[in-house]
Amino acid sequence: MKKGHLIVFEGIDGAGLTTNSIFLANWLKNNGYKSIYTKEPTESEIGIVIRKILQNEKKADPFLLTLLFTADRNIHVNNVILPFMKEGYFIVCDRYYFSTIAYQSVHGADEKLIRKLSKNFPKPDIVFLLDVDPRISLKRKGEKTELYEKVDFLESVRKKFLELASEMNFIVIPSEEEINYVQNLIIKVINYFLEEVKND
């Protein structure tokens, strides 16, 4: 492989993004492919600021958050995604700009602006949308809540993700199913993709 591939996991809080992203990165590595797991927000100074805002449960300005997420993503793309893609890695990313579109547009930011700010970032080869009922996802998360962890809000975000999935051909996986079932579906999609890559 001359160039790497970007695989993204999206979905509402508690959908299993981290668990399944790490699973796939490890599966690829165990099957002889160079792979890394990465996530957004990152551990950059901007990413740390974002996490602090999200943890205080108070209403934050959606335009400010859009700018912060975009700045953090710019660092992520230039310092992690592009360098590893040049080395032929599979980059498995836990959230990407689709999360900013879904969450911040529901929060009140201008969706056209978010899309404009995101248009020059590398496009993923595959986007998995882990779809789950917010009531189930919040039970998984436990009692501690962050800014966006409210059923009504997450219902709207879920709807936006499903709209994006229809528009952009995401692979939608019902993540409230048993984890082995979810991960078997992921591997089926990846095996199909790997066959396509080999035949290019």
Per-residue pLDDT of 129-178, as tens digits, reads 999 999 888 877 665 555 566 889 999 999 999 999 999 999 999 999 99
Query: One digit per residue, pLDDT tens: the chain, 200 residues?
Result: 458 999 999 999 999 999 999 999 999 999 999 999 999 999 999 999 999 888 875 678 899 999 999 999 999 999 999 999 999 999 999 999 999 999 999 999 999 999 999 999 999 999 999 999 998 888 776 655 555 668 899 999 999 999 999 999 999 999 999 999 999 999 999 999 999 988 77
Please spell the DSSP secondary structure of 98-162, one letter per residue.
Answer: HHHHHHHHHHT--HHHHHHHHTTSPPPSEEEEEE--HHHHHHHH-S---TT--HHHHHHHHHHHH
CATH label, 5-199, candidates 3.40.50.970, 3.40.50.300, 3.40.710.10, 1.20.58.220: 3.40.50.300
| Residue extents of the structural domains in the chain | 5-199
Q: Are the beta carbons of 162 and 172 closer than 8 angstroms?
A: yes
Q: Are the beta carbons of 73 and 129 closer than 8 angstroms?
A: no
